[in-house]
Amino acid sequence: MKITVKLIGPFVQLFGFSEKELDVPGGTTADDLIGLVSIDRSRPKIVTRNGRAVVPGEALAEGDRLVISPIYSGG
Amino acid sequence: MNGWTGHILRVNLTTKTFKKEAFSEDFARKWIGGRGFAVKILYDELAPGIDPLGPDNKFIVALGPIAGIPAPNTGKAVVAGKSPSTGGYGDGNIGTRVAEQLRKAGYDALIVEGRAAGPTMLYIEDDKVEFLPADAVWGQGTYVTNDWIYAKYGKSVGVLNIGQAGENLVRYAVVRSLEGRAGGRTGMGAVMGSKLLKAVVVKGTKSIPQADPAGMKKVGHDDLREVHRIDKEAGWSIQSTNGVLAWCNEVAALPVRNFRKTHHPDAWKCDGERLNNARIATYGCPNCTMRCGITIHDEEGRESELDYENVGLLGPNLEIFDLPAIGSLNYLCDDYGIDTMSGGCVLSFYADAIDRGAVPGGYKFGDVAGSKALLGQIARREGEIGNILAEGSMRAARKFGHGSIDYAMQVKGLEVAAYNCKFIPGMALAFGVSPIGAHHKESWVITFELKQTSRESYGPEKAQKVIDLQRIRGGLFEYIVACRFPWIEVGWSLENYPKYFKLVSGLDWTLDDFWTISDRIYSMIKLFWLREYPETDRKLDYPPAVWFDPANVDTEGPIAGKHLEVDKYDGLLQHYYDLRGYDRRGIPTKATLERLGVAEEGRAAEKFGKLS
Ligand code: SF4
């Protein structure tokens, strides 16, 4: 299934891409995907799926947009 | 008295006199500095009902115990007075060398009273105060004014100045300093302008009394290096505050088209990545090792310093997505001394009002040239429309009528910052209960709402989070007076601040001690409000009505079909009041005031409005 991953803020520079589309097997979770795009797991972050925060282990679906962002605290 | 210079400088522009006044240790410990000093002084010295733009208002610059001492992000000052936009207590913080210079001159605060006979620049050097003519720069923007001052005194002096907006009493005129710093969006620039005070220049040569100067020096320098290191590791200052724009766009929290939309396919054009790519220079406040002022060339080739709030509100909110164009609008606001946030919201309100037929006009969303022209008309109060818009969106809406107040994006007369709360209940509450009008500096709960709880919740956990953040952001950082970004953005521990406080004052306080001070100061701001508005009502803590409007819902995206619900919001507001010990109007009860050590101030307020 096709999933779009979008990085936010300094993650773009730190992990080397801004947005990409991945073809992943069905049943892939948000957590699996973070591993696939080599994001440092220890880094504080907020992950949203189609604009809503994901719960760990949540399975993804075809056409999802996963956004991985540092935890902003509002200027 | 270690930790404080122990003195306030009081200057009267009418009589051209000044006094150096001592304050007690009790006063210092009870109010600490910055916002604490400012609200206490204004509460004690201003008669309720005075005109904020008349000679009876006072302009205050207040510093905190760590201000001006090399340590993470201490180059900030609080500017305060009765607000021309809300009519209540107003303030703001600004990055400026005044923080260090005023303390070295021997003062923890400056009170400016009266009204000068002609345009004036106040020059303060230690015990000397001069009232100098500023006719040469009256009518000029802040950049020319700043250069004029630097040419006279060099670049190491502390400077606060205003542009045409402050001179012409635009109700959301700011005070400016350094290359791109601004503060006091509650109209503090207009308070200066009403006194014909074009600039304050400060130079100090004394040392700041500290309990352990050697210890503070070592810790301060080590910590400045450490903050630099962790910022580099986190990469925050690569995109600085504008990193959040792309995220707001993804989670439907971006202001687009006067907040009617929450996201836009072109938002990427002005996001943090594009801003960083366009960077030509970086500026910042004194004593900062994670400088956040990203500067780009605007359409006219001038240097314009951008952050998220001004990109959000002068960009997508006006349906303008071209960075150099946004840069131009930002440059004009900075030069005129117009608050970029209120400026953006006032323009978007005007375009919306025309769109909806509330008022005739040719201005439209996406109109860069029209926006530039309007900012000039506002700053100069030129023509009927310049004059109306210079009053801010709340007053303009009263003039336009036709229900336009519902989409004037403001609370209590102050325009909202760049977070669209169409469906973010906790952040809407944060704007609603911010004691100075809709400012984001008091509390910011969006990531908490999405990650730690659910966006749909109106539960007490959100009210508690708003309070926790108010204690830190609107409390601690506003009275110890330091920039909150090391804690907010790169995780610098809050425990560092009692540590610095102990090194300068010798007092061994916990964060809980500080939270009591924060609550005391918030109560005082509410008492100030009660005195000015005895008929105050909880409705004044409601966000703009359009966020409750079912006709305004998104038709697609993450919050399609959703909007805030009035009854539930009111319940959330009640949670906030209950947790704070406020009554149903949002005013602290007598028991709360007693607990916070301000019962006497409460009794003084009772002459004007009831306490329960
Ligand atoms: S982080 Fe930004 S606002 Fe804070 S002190 Fe540094 S330059 Fe100033």
Q: For the segment B232-255, what is each residue's pLDDT rounded down to a tens digit?
A: 999 999 999 999 999 999 999 999
Evaluate if residue B341 carries a pLDDT over 80. yes
Which pLDDT band, with edges at 50, 70 and 90, does A73 fall under?
Answer: confident
Mean pLDDT score of chain B, rounded to an integer? 97
Q: How far apart are CA B588 and CA B538, in angstroms?
A: 12
Mean pLDDT, residues B64-81: 96
* Least confidently predicted of B67-71, B167-171, B507-511, B547-551: B67-71
Name the residue with the closest Cα to ligand 1, atom 7: B284
Q: Domain A2-70 classified CATH 3.10.20.30?
A: yes
Evaluate if residue A36 carries a pLDDT over 90. no
Mean pLDDT, residues B255-267: 98
Which of B78, B227, B238, B292 to mutate to test ligand 1, by most ligand atoms within 8 A of the CB atom?
Answer: B292
pLDDT of A75 reads 76
Q: How far apart are CA B198 and CA B57, in angstroms?
A: 16
Evaluate if residue A72 carries a pLDDT over 90. no
Residue B326 CA to chain centroid, in angstroms?
21
DSSP-assigned letter for residue A2: E
* B36-59 residues labelled b (16+ CB within 10 A) or e (exposed): bbbbbbbbeebebeeebbebbbbb
Mean pLDDT, residues A28-48: 87
pLDDT of B31 reads 98
Evaluate if residue B208 carries a pLDDT over 80. yes
Which of B96, B483, B484 to mutate to test ligand 1, by most ligand atoms within 8 A of the CB atom?
Answer: B483
pLDDT of B543 reads 98
pLDDT of B474 reads 97
Kindly state the helix (H) or strand (E) to which residue B342 belongs, with its residue range. Answer: helix B340-355
pLDDT of B253 reads 97
Q: What is the CA radius of gyration of chain B?
A: 22
Minimal CA–CA distance to A7: which of A32, A28, A27, A34? Answer: A34
pLDDT of A35 reads 85
* Least confidently predicted of A45-54, B81-90, B352-361, B387-396: A45-54
For residue B90, the SS3 value is strand
B273, B454, B456: best mutation site toward chain A, by most A Cβ within 10 Å?
Answer: B273
pLDDT of B475 reads 98
Name the residue with the closest Cα to ligand 1, atom 4: B483
Residue whose entry in the numeric block shows the structure tokens 């966020």: B547
Q: Between B475 and A31, name the one with better pLDDT.
A: B475
Residue whose entry in the numeric block shows the structure tokens 């005895």: B534
Q: State the closest ligand 1 atom to the C-alpha of B288, by its place in the atom list counted from 1.
A: 6
Q: How far apart are CA B585 and CA B260, in angstroms?
A: 29
Q: State the closest ligand 1 atom to the C-alpha of B291, by its place in the atom list counted from 1.
A: 7
Written as one letter, the residue type at B336 is Y
CA angle B326, B329, B333 (to 5 degrees): 135
Q: State the closest ligand 1 atom to the C-alpha of B289, by its place in the atom list counted from 1.
A: 6
Which pLDDT band, with edges at 50, 70 and 90, does A42 fall under?
Answer: confident
Evaluate if residue B594 carries a pLDDT over 90. yes
pLDDT of B280 reads 98
Mean pLDDT, residues B578-595: 98
Evaluate if residue A50 carries a pLDDT over 90. yes
Q: How far apart are CA B609 and CA B589, in angstroms?
A: 12
Q: Are A52 and B450 in contact (CB under 8 A)?
A: yes
Q: Are B446 and B417 in contact (CB under 8 A)?
A: no
Q: How far apart are CA B158 and CA B520, in angstroms?
A: 30
Written as one letter, the residue type at B22 is A
Contacts 24+ apart (CB under 8 A), B373-376: B374/B347, B374/B350, B375/B329, B375/B332, B375/B333, B375/B336, B375/B338, B375/B343, B375/B347, B376/B332, B376/B336
Q: Is A10 left (phi over 0), alpha (psi -120 to 50) or beta?
A: alpha
Which pLDDT band, with edges at 50, 70 and 90, does A13 fall under?
Answer: confident
pLDDT of A40 reads 81
Q: Which residue of B has its CA nearest to A12?
A: B273
Evaluate if residue B360 carries a pLDDT over 90. yes
Residue B401: phi, psi to the nearest 5? 65, -150
Which pLDDT band, with edges at 50, 70 and 90, does A55 fall under?
Answer: confident
pLDDT-above-90 percentage for chain B: 99
Residue whose entry in the numeric block shows the structure tokens 């926006």: B371
Q: Are B171 and B395 in contact (CB under 8 A)?
A: yes
